[in-house]
DNA sequence: CGTCCTCTTGACGGCTTTCAATAAAAGTGG
DNA sequence: CCACTTTTATTGAAAGCCGTCAAGAGGACG
């Protein structure tokens, strides 16, 4: 047991050697705890820190010049957040705690050393960044080209598919700890319209909801409504050379 | 002179050693030429190929279940396209030639060897992928949260800023070889509405246009309209260790 | 010279936002 | 544990932005 859900997550994709495991465990530094709503990092702030999410959810977002917020990504436990600091000395995205969270801090130079010493991990981390990039592209397509109802449905499906990667016994029920305004900021809608679309999904028997607890009643039909494709299931790391 | 604009581009960020230069030159395989409009790679196709763009522009896109197309990214000369094949055995994005193009093919396993032998290049390539990911996030924010006029303005500014990275003497005039339908597919608009928005930008004296030739007349104001931030100017690679 | 693609413009309709008001829930301090 | 405040959820009505439909003009290409 390493105790880090990041190492555990990488282990899903690759059988890690002892050297790789210990390098990963040295990667994570100081642990921090934030309460729901805390702004962890602000755009334009000088920073070369990455975070590993241990528990809780993070929101990654940008603010537009008219003051509106665009949530770019929900980050769940086990994820590495903030690789953009490889390219930018100044934060290009803000981070805030969607729930109470525990994270640990990773320094940029530690990432560099990991890349230098463990190329398999470098490729694996790059792979997972690609998955995130592709998912962001899917969200772009969803926001740009589909209707409000479909976007909300897509967010729900994307989220549950990712939760299933973490917790294999997630069925079709989960807690979405976002306010309707946050769902709107993620999908490019107003809170008011999110409310109407959720109601519409409930009325059509696609989902059930009580508070923030959501149950998917008809996943195939919801997927059809959303135009959703589960990219996460298609990831393949078996081509990487085995070292064990 | 290496002859590859990809190597040249990396050289802007890092003083490459001889070993790195020769590894990069071995990376690029067979060269191919495509005519404007050619579908180079289709989503769902089995593929483990990457491309380096030598001349011309590529369009990366996905098709939605209602048949509409979302253009995710324009790829300009010097760019490495298709790193998603690290994570996915099957193409997750389609590629097509926006103009006549020359590309060379890079195999996935060659990328693996590059990562294994040259960690600085691994980090540098990861950096540039981060820049693309951040730019896609900006486009998501633009499409989700700003009006049609602002989205078109943002596309124009993003494009010219990237052209300036390639060609330092680009002033405020360039050729945008996209049809209005393609601009619409990139910004989440219909061709009809793109036409109206371009006219509006012209009428307001922000740009001039004749055919596909665009001149920016008032860049600060256009940036204000678009809510545009030039991420490309903020990239910093000086923290990477020097080897030369 | 004809065909096809792209550009252009107008009118109409629908989806989403905005504005407003109330109810419900959650957080705070006594 | 309760009173109070703040945040979040909910619903209705009106306005606005953009899509859809339609028709014609201009250009590229065979």
Q: What is the pLDDT along chain A (244 residues), one digit of tens a residue?
A: 457 899 999 999 999 999 999 999 999 999 999 999 999 999 999 999 999 999 999 999 999 999 999 999 999 999 999 999 999 999 999 999 999 999 999 999 999 999 999 999 999 999 999 999 999 999 999 999 999 999 999 999 999 999 999 998 888 999 999 999 999 999 999 999 999 999 999 999 999 999 999 999 999 999 999 999 999 999 999 999 998 6
Q: Do B90 and A234 touch (CB under 8 A)?
A: yes
> Which of B171, B153, B159 minimizes the C-alpha distance to B207?
B153
Residue B206: its pLDDT value, please?
A: 97
**Under 8 Å between Cβ of A113 and A166:** no
Is residue A63 within a helix (H) or strand (E), and if so which, with residue range? strand A58-63
* B236 Cα distance to chain centroid: 19
Closest CB from A70, A127, A134 relative to B92: A134
Residue A244: its pLDDT value, please?
A: 66
> Which of A221, A224, A153, A146 minimizes the C-alpha distance to B68?
A146
Digit-coded pLDDT (tens) for B20-72: 999 999 999 999 999 999 999 999 999 999 999 999 999 999 999 999 999 99
CB atoms within 10 A of CB A193: 17
**What 3-state class would DSSP assign to A22?**
helix
DSSP state of A238: T
**A68: nt with nearest C1' to CA:** C17
Phi/psi for B221 (5° steps) reads: -70, -35
**Under 8 Å between Cβ of B110 and B84:** no
* B99 Cα distance to chain centroid: 13
- State the alpha helices, DSSP H only, in B146-233: 148-166, 180-187, 191-203, 219-226
Sheet architecture: strand order including B69-75:
B39-41, B94-97, B58-63, B69-75
Give yes or no for CB of B149 within 7 Å of strand D: yes
Q: Do B134 and A88 touch (CB under 8 A)?
A: yes
Closest CB from A86, A136, A224 relative to B136: A136
Q: Which residues contact A87 (CB under 8 A, 6 or more apart)?
A: B127, B128, B130, B131, B134, B235, B236, B237
- In degrees, rounded to 5, the angle at the alpha carbon of residue B71 between the alpha carbons of residues A50 and A159 is 45
Residue A168: its pLDDT value, please?
A: 87
Hey, is the C-beta of B191 within 8 angstroms of any chain A C-beta? no
Q: How far is the CA of A195 from the C1' of D7 (A)?
A: 16
Residues of B in contact with A83 (CB under 8 A): 126, 130
């Amino acid at each position: 047991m390493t105790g880090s859900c990041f190492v555990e997550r990488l282990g899903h994709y690759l059988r890690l050697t002892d050297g790789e495991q210990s390098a990963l465990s040295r990667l994570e530094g100081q642990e921090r705890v934030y309460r729901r709503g805390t702004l962890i990092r602000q755009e334009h702030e000088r920073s070369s820190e990455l975070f590993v999410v241990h528990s809780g959810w993070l929101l990654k977002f940008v603010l537009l010049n008219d003051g509106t917020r665009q949530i770019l990504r929900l980050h769940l436990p086990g994820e590495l957040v903030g690789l953009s600091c490889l390219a930018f000395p100044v934060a290009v995205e803000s981070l805030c705690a969607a729930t109470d969270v525990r994270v640990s801090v990773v320094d940029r130079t530690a990432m560099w050393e990991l890349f230098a010493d463990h190329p398999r991990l470098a490729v694996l981390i790059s792979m997972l960044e690609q998955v995130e990039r592709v998912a962001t592209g899917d969200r772009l397509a969803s926001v740009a080209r589909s209707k409000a109802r479909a976007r909300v449905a897509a967010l729900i499906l994307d989220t549950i598919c990712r939760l299933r990667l973490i917790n294999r016994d997630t069925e079709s029920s989960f807690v979405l700890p976002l306010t309707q305004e946050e769902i709107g900021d993620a999908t490019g809608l107003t809170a008011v319209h999110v409310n109407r679309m959720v109601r519409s999904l409930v009325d059509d028997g696609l989902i059930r909801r009580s508070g923030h607890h959501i149950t998917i009643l008809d996943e195939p039909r919801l997927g059809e409504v959303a135009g959703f494709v589960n990219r996460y299931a298609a990831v393949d790391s078996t081509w990487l050379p085995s070292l064990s």
